[in-house]
Amino acid sequence: MENVYPLLNCFSLEEELTMSLYCGIAFRRKSFWCYRLLSTYITKTRYLFELKEDDDACKKAQQTGAFYLFHSLAPLLQQSEHQYLPPQHSLLELERLLRKFGQDTQRVEDSVLIGCSEQHEAWFALDLCLNGSSSINASLQKPEMEMELKGSFVDLRKALFWLNVKDASLLSTAQALLRWHDAHQFCSRSGQPTKKNVAGSKRVCPSNKIIYYPQMAPVVITLVSDGTRCLLARQSSFPKGMYSALAGFCDIGESVEEAVRREVAEEVGLEIERLQYSASQHWPFPNSSLMIACHATVKPGQTEIQVNFRELEAAAWFSHDEVITALKRNDPHTQQQNGAFPFWLPPKLAIANQLIKEWVEKSTCSSLPA
Ligand SMILES: NC(=O)C1=CN([C@@H]2O[C@H](COP(=O)(O)OP(=O)(O)OC[C@H]3O[C@@H](n4cnc5c(N)ncnc54)[C@H](OP(=O)(O)O)[C@@H]3O)[C@@H](O)[C@H]2O)C=CC1
Ligand SMILES: [Mg+2]
């Protein structure tokens, strides 16, 4: 078999041998089959896969791993200079804290695997006070824990504004997984308590062996445009003055395209003509949603909005300039003289903001002289 990795046939046999020691290459004399140097990302992914599949390997990884702490689904953050960081705790420190908080060190088994470093240090998350476990640690209340931990447990919705992108994504995943386990303690078929694997990537019913996997609900979010304006809407639950792109949970059996068409028709009575995928995002509120973001256009001349007031409080077309002004607004919560709240848009951590910015950029480019 010719050498499929041409870059490797430039080495002498000795170099190939040395290299094979480093690259973990399966070596056959003169023509070796070489696993190309696996990128860090691939080795990390494969390491995490192994921990999810092998309880013993995951238990071993806990020995040298790092633990992020939560309390009732709020992550622990420590302020350092002008930023907030989620502290990591070793297994030894965690066991010391659990004893100090009057909890059984076996609670480590309630932790979930949430990632690892490039050096394969596994990361786990543990909630010190979820419904299932709150009876155990009623002895030690949150303020005393925060004192001991030199930090505060911050509601995730607030914490996401203070965290960098990497920590925000890690803690959102952690909270979603901790919440899922807390809400799926029993088999829906037998009613028996289910058992999580060490990594927390699934739960199994011991009596009928049914496996339960953490679920995300697919949600389509669509910025509809008529070529010069974009359509934004608001629900009564939104903060005053805030408008966003149309969003809706996919119904069972629906494709993304079908869900977009249905949601736009349901919410504003319009038919979309073209649709283009943009990006996706895990959204932990109120439960775990997978936001699938698209741009869509309506047929010219068919732009009259009929708002479904069961779903929305208001919907309207907004011009490019109105959207640019709203994107720049950084004091959205201040009421105007006439008592109205100014029109503002979701923060940049929400994928709706990305969709709207993409539309602004696209319409700016297309309005540029050719
Ligand atoms: N990240 C972002 O940029 C944005 C995220 N979002 C998120 O998108 C999600 C969907 O938006 P929304 O407009 O409310 O959705 P919908 O337009 O689908 O309306 C919500 C209704 O959908 C029904 N529903 C269907 N499936 C589910 C499910 N799996 N979980 C909960 N409700 C379901 C419920 O109706 P019923 O009660 O009748 O069963 C619910 O009241 C929300 O969670 C919201 O937080 C929204 C905008 C921006
Ligand atoms: Mg909706």
Strand 217-225 relative to strand 289-298, pairing: parallel
Ligand 2 geometric centre to CA of 233 (Å): 9
Residues of the chain predicted below pLDDT 50? 1-11, 13, 15-34, 134-139, 370
Which fold does the domain 40-131+139-183 belong to in CATH? Nucleoside Triphosphate Pyrophosphohydrolase (3.90.79)
| Closest C-alpha to ligand 1, atom 14 | 248
Instruction: Note whether 40-131+139-183 and 217-365 share their fold.
Output: yes
Counting from 1 in the atom list of ligand 1, the atom nearest the Cα of 281 is: 1
What ipTM was estimated for this complex?
0.95
Burial of 184 (0-12, 13-18, 19+ CB in 10 A): middle
**Side-chain-facing half-sphere of 309: CA atoms under 13 Å:** 0
pTM: 0.86
Rounded CA-CA distance 295/223 in Å is 5
What residue type is 130 in one-letter code? L
Write down the pLDDT at residue 249.
Answer: 98
List the domain boundaries for the chain: 40-131+139-183, 217-365
Write down the pLDDT at residue 364.
Answer: 74
Given ligand 1 and candidates 236, 249, 291, 307, which is best to mutate, with the most ligand atoms within 8 Å of its CB?
Answer: 249
Return all residues near 242 (Cβ < 8 A) that are at least 6 apart. 234, 332, 344, 345, 346
Which fold does the domain 217-365 belong to in CATH? Nucleoside Triphosphate Pyrophosphohydrolase (3.90.79)
Residue 291 CB less than 6 A away from ligand 1: yes
| Closest C-alpha to ligand 1, atom 20 | 248
Ligand 1 geometric centre to CA of 25 (Å): 49
- Does residue 181 sit in helix, strand or coil? helix
Write down the pLDDT at residue 132.
Answer: 52
Residue 315 CB less than 6 A away from ligand 1: no
> Do 154 and 84 touch, CB atoms closer than 8 A?
yes
H or E segment and range at residue 143: helix 142-149
Rounded CA-CA distance 265/268 in Å is 6
- Ligand closest to the CA atom of residue 283: 1
Burial of 86 (0-12, 13-18, 19+ CB in 10 A): buried
Write down the pLDDT at residue 217.
Answer: 97
